[in-house]
A and B are shown apart, each in its own frame.
Chain A
Amino acid sequence: MTEYLSLSLILFTIGAVGVLVRRNAIVVFMCIELMLNATNLALVSFSRQIGNLDGQVAAFFVMVVAAAEVVVGLAIIVSIYRARRSISVDDANLLKS
């Protein structure tokens, strides 16, 4: 079971680093999805280790929330793109000062 958890943590770390280094807002979003998927893997493997299905239900809820989050997030990206013609996260500084 340790291998599954290690893989999940490695994927989570890669996703976190991706959020920090990438500039394209959509790729940053994909990295967040990668992190959510990694936590799902951890939940499912813990569920198997402990022997009840609560972990799988939690993973299912994570998927639902991720779907809602992607819908809203991509709508925000599209509206930012319409206003500024750019999806680089460095250009979005409207809240500054």
Chain B
Amino acid sequence: MTTFWLLAPLMVVSALGLLFVRKAVHAALCLAVVMISLAVLYAALDAPFLFAVQIIVYTGAIMMLFLFVLMLVGVDTVDALKETIGGQRWIAVIIGALFGITVVLAIAQTVSGAVVGLDTANANGNPYGLAELLFGKYVLAFEFTSALLITAALGAMVLAHQERLTPRRTQGDLAAQRMRDYAELGRHPGNPPTPGVFARHNAVDTPALLPDGTAVDASISPSIVARGQVRDGYDDDIEIVQRQLEGRDTGDDTIGGEK
């Protein structure tokens, strides 16, 4: 019972968090707390198999799927505060509260009697007992769930499928395009040089040099250009590096330097 009284307030608070938090990711975290606590309650209720399944299927698979889709559609989407139906929020809360109070009172007044407990049913172990029911009495339902799961997988594939609107560019198309560029624009059909070819450094921030000594801008990643960290390829900073290695760094001149 201690487990229950520790976990129940936590679960109710996290479930309420599902109603009040703004961001969908926080709602997912609240739901994960509820589900893990539920798993512990299952263990307390003599259902060790469901304890494992709850953690593996719900917190492991389903919550991951939720988070995955959240990342796919953008985590920063927040609820619109405008109500489509006037006063819907208050009506929903009042009806929900009435419903909750009614059923809790009904349960408190009607459900009683001794708790039999699962000691006899779990005599051979809980998974054994469940398997006996699952593959005996409920085997037909079990078969139907396999059909259901296959249908669901097919449905998800059909729903998430996207038709290609443009034909796919094959390697042959790309090669033909390169040769056409060479014929019409004079662009070299081969690979562009990698950073540092013929330059003083072979680091990614040093542009390659052409045979006539001019730098090839296309050999540098655009993000390095945008950060202004491109060296000019002629930097005479080997002496600076040597001084730094010998501990004689004056600190006033840095390697490369921004142009």
Could you list which residues of chain A lie within 8 angstroms of chain B, going by C-beta atoms? 1-7, 9-18, 20-24, 26-27, 29-31, 33-34, 37, 40-41, 44-45, 47-54, 56-57, 59-61, 63-72, 74-79, 81-82, 86-88, 90
Contacts and interface: CB of A to CB of B under 8 A. Distances in A.
Interface stretch (B115-123, B182-190, B213-221, B233-241): B115-123
B230 interface: no
A58 to B, nearest CB: 9
Interface residues of B, number: 82
A10 B38 CA distance: 13
Given A1-B115, A2-B107, A14-B18, A78 B58 contact: no
Nearest to B146: A64
Contacts, number: 225
A72 B152 contact: yes
Main secondary structure of the interface of B (DSSP, over half): helix
Main secondary structure of the interface of A (DSSP, over half): helix
B118 A53 contact: yes
22 contacts: A1-B111, A10-B15, A10-B104, A14-B18, A17-B19, A17-B96, A18-B18, A20-B96, A24-B24, A24-B79, A26-B73, A33-B62, A37-B34, A40-B54, A44-B45, A48-B46, A57-B134, A68-B152, A70-B62, A72-B159, A74-B65, A74-B156
Given A9-B103, A17-B96, A74-B66, A63 B73 contact: no
B70 interface: yes
B116 A30 contact: no
B47 A44 contact: yes
Contact of B65 (A20, A60, A71): A71
B92 interface: yes
Contact of B73 (A31, A37, A81): A81
Given A71-B65, A87-B77, A37 B160 contact: no
Interface string B8-33: 10011001101100001001100100
A57 B130 contact: yes
